[in-house]
C-alpha cells in the first residue's frame, strides 16, 4: 500500500522517466494487477498466462513481437523502481557518507540475487548497463598482443563485433570468423566450424549464445569445453539469454559472459552484467577506471565502478528477477519454446524459408524466416500502422519474430492473419 503523497510523486516520476502519460501511472497504485497464483497454472495454463499478460503496460490491442530488441518492464518492476526513487531521493541515508550512487560500491543486495539467478557467485558478477558495455570491457580489456586472434561467428551483433574491430584497427589484434549455416542442423555442425577455424594464434572465442541475426542458440557448453581443451578463453555474448532460458554459468563452464536483462528478463532499460571467472579476472584490464581499478581483491566489483549511476534501476532489476523466480524460469522457457514452435510451424506452412534450426536445442524464443519477395520494412510499417503489430527483421526479406511468455495464442493468430492478408494484397 502506498500513501497519497508517494503516489503523486510516483506519477510525476513515472511520466518524466518513462515519457508516458501520467494517467498510466495510476495503474501503479493499489489497483495494479497481481501475479496470478500457481494453482491457477495447475488448473488452467492459458488463464494463468492471460493474467500474467495484464502485468504488462503494452495495450491489450497491441501485439509486440520484438522483445528481442528490448523487453517491456511490467508493473512489479516499475513499482520497485518508483519506490526506490521515492526512498533514495530523500537523501536521508543513515550514514552521512552514504549516497545512492551505483558505480562506487559492491551493491551485493542486487548482485547476490542476480548471481544466484544465473548460476554464478557475487564476486564473478559486475553490474553494468548492457551487453554492449560488457562486451567492450572484454574486447578492450582482455590482454592480447598484435597478431593474436579472436574467433567469432558471422552473426555477431555490432555491440559484440565492433569493440573487437576497434581493437583490431587500433592495436593489431586479428578478427577471424566462422559461418553459421542458415539454418544449422545440429550442434556438431557449429562445433566443427569453430574447431576448423581455430589457429595457433587464437586466444579467445567470442560468440553470441543466442545470435541477433537468426536467434540460433549456439552450443555454448561444448564451445567452452573445446576452447578450454586448447588453452583458449571462451567469452559469450548472452544479451538475449537472461530471462529467455534457464542459465547456469558455472555449469556452462565459460570464462566470460555478458548479458542485457532488459530484453527477456523484462528488467529496466540499462540493466546489464559482465561475468568473469576468477581464473581470468587478472587477464582483464579495466576499461573505465576510477578508484579501485588496481585492486584485484575487489574481484569483479572493480568492473562495475563506473562513476555515478542509477540505483533505482538496480531495484527494478532485482524485482524482475523476483518476478521470473515467482513465475518459474522453467515455465517461462517452456512457454517461450511453445509459442516459438507454433510460430515457426505456421510460417513454414505458409512457405517461409526457415533460418531457425530444425534441432530444438538450437532454438528458443526467436523465430527467423526468409519471406521473399516481401520487403521486410514495407511489411514492418504496414503491420504497425494498419494492425498495431510490431515486428522486426533484416534486409531484404528476413523476419525476426520474438515470442515472449506474455504473448497469448490469439496474438500469434492476429499476426498470422495479418501476414496472410498482406500477402494477398501484394
Ligand X SMILES: Cc1ncc(COP(=O)(O)O)c(C=O)c1O
Site residues, ligand X (CB under 6 A): 69, 130-132, 157, 159-160, 208, 212, 237, 239-240, 260
The minimum distance between CB 336 and ligand X, in angstroms, equals 15
User: Strands, E, within 86-133: which ranges?
Assistant: 125-128
For 166-218, the DSSP string reads: HHHHHH--EEEEEPPPSS---HHHHHHHHHHH--TTEEEEEEESB-TTT--B-
Would you say 103 or 270 has its CB closer to ligand X? Answer: 270
Backbone phi, then psi, for 273, in 5-degree steps? -150, 155
> 164 to each of 132, 173, 361, how far by Cα in Å?
11, 8, 28
SS3 (DSSP) at 399: strand
Contact partners, residue 32, CB within 8 Å, separation at least 6: 75, 79
28: DSSP letter: G
Rounded to the nearest whole angstrom, what is the least distance from the CB of residue 175 to ligand X in the complex?
16
CA distance 42 to 2: 32
In the complex with ligand X, which residue's Cβ is closer, 25 or 265? 265
| Nearest in space to 235 (alpha carbons), one of 172, 117, 112, 144 | 144
CA 380 to CA 422: how far, in whole Å? Answer: 11
As measured in angstroms, the least distance from the Cβ of 129 to ligand X is: 8
In the complex, the smallest distance separating the C-beta of residue 196 from ligand X, rounded to whole angstroms, is: 23
Kindly tell me which of 53 and 392 has the beta carbon lying closer to ligand X: 392
The nearest distance, CB 395 to ligand X, in angstroms, is: 16
Residue closer to ligand X, measured from CB, 160 or 365: 160
d(CA 285, CA 276): 12
Structure-block grid coordinates of residue 227: 576452447
Closer CB to ligand X, 208 or 309, in the complex: 208
Phi-psi domain of 292 (left: phi exceeds 0; alpha: psi -120 through 50; beta: other): left
Closer to ligand X by Cβ: residue 40 or 70: 70
Please identify, using beta-carbon distances, which residue of 167 and 387 lies nearer to ligand X.
167
Least separation, in Å, of the C-beta of 257 and ligand X?
12
Q: For the CB of residue 208, give the shortest distance to ligand X in the complex, in Å.
A: 4
Q: How far is the CB of 8 from ligand X (least distance, A)?
A: 33
What's the grid cell of residue 197?
A: 577455424
Residue closer to ligand X (CB basis): 241 or 300: 241
Q: Do residues 150 and 174 make contact, with C-beta atoms less than 8 angstroms apart?
A: yes
Q: Terminus-to-terminus CA distance in the chain, angstroms? A: 53
Amino acid at each position: 500500500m502506498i500513501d497519497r503523497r508517494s503516489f503523486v510523486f510516483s506519477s510525476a516520476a513515472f511520466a518524466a522517466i518513462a515519457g508516458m502519460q501520467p494517467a498510466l501511472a495510476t495503474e501503479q497504485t493499489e489497483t495494479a494487477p497481481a501475479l496470478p497464483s500457481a494453482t491457477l497454472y495447475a488448473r488452467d495454463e492459458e488463464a494463468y498466462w492471460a493474467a500474467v499478460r495484464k502485468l504488462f503496460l503494452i495495450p491489450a490491442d497491441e501485439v509486440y513481437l520484438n522483445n528481442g530488441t528490448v523487453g517491456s518492464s511490467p508493473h512489479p518492476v516499475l513499482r520497485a523502481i518508483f519506490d526506490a526513487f521515492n526512498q533514495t531521493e530523500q537523501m536521508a541515508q543513515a550514514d552521512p557518507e552514504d549516497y545512492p550512487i551505483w558505480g562506487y560500491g559492491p551493491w551485493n543486495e542486487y548482485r547476490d540475487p542476480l548471481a544466484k539467478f544465473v548460476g554464478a557467485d557475487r564476486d564473478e558478477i559486475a553490474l553494468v548497463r548492457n551487453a554492449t558495455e560488457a562486451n567492450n570491457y572484454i574486447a578492450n580489456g582482455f590482454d592480447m598482443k598484435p597478431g593474436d586472434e579472436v574467433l567469432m561467428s558471422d552473426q555477431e551483433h555490432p555491440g559484440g563485433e565492433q569493440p573487437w574491430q576497434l581493437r583490431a584497427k587500433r592495436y593489431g589484434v586479428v578478427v577471424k570468423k566462422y559461418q553459421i549455416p542458415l539454418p544449422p542442423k545440429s550442434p556438431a555442425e557449429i562445433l566443427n566450424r569453430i574447431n576448423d577455424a581455430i589457429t595457433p594464434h587464437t586466444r579467445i572465442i567470442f560468440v553470441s549464445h543466442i545470435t541477433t541475426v537468426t536467434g540460433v542458440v549456439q552450443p555454448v557448453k561444448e564451445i567452452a569445453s573445446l576452447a578450454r581443451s586448447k588453452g583458449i578463453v571462451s567469452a559469450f555474448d548472452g544479451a538475449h539469454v537472461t530471462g529467455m532460458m534457464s542459465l547456469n554459468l558455472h555449469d556452462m563452464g565459460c570464462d566470460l559472459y555478458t548479458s542485457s536483462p532488459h530484453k527477456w528478463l523484462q528488467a529496466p532499460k540499462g540493466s546489464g552484467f559482465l561475468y568473469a571467472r576468477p581464473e581470468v579476472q587478472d587477464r582483464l584490464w579495466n576499461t573505465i577506471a576510477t578508484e579501485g581499478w588496481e585492486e584485484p581483491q575487489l574481484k569483479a566489483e572493480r568492473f562495475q565502478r563506473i562513476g555515478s549511476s542509477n540505483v533505482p534501476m538496480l531495484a527494478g532489476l532485482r524485482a524482475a528477477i523476483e518476478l521470473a523466480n515467482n513465475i518459474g524460469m522453467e515455465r517461462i522457457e517452456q512457454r517461450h519454446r511453445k509459442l516459438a514452435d507454433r510460430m515457426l510451424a505456421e510460417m513454414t506452412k505458409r512457405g517461409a524459408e526457415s533460418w531457425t534450426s530444425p534441432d530444438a536445442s538450437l532454438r528458443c524464443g526467436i523465430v527467423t524466416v526468409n519471406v521473399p519477395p516481401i520487403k521486410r520494412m514495407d511489411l514492418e510499417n504496414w503491420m504497425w500502422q494498419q494492425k498495431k503489430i510490431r515486428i522486426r527483421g533484416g534486409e531484404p526479406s528476413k523476419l525476426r519474430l520474438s515470442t515472449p511468455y506474455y504473448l497469448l495464442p490469439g496474438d500469434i493468430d492476429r499476426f498470422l492473419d495479418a501476414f496472410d492478408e498482406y500477402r494477398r494484397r501484394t
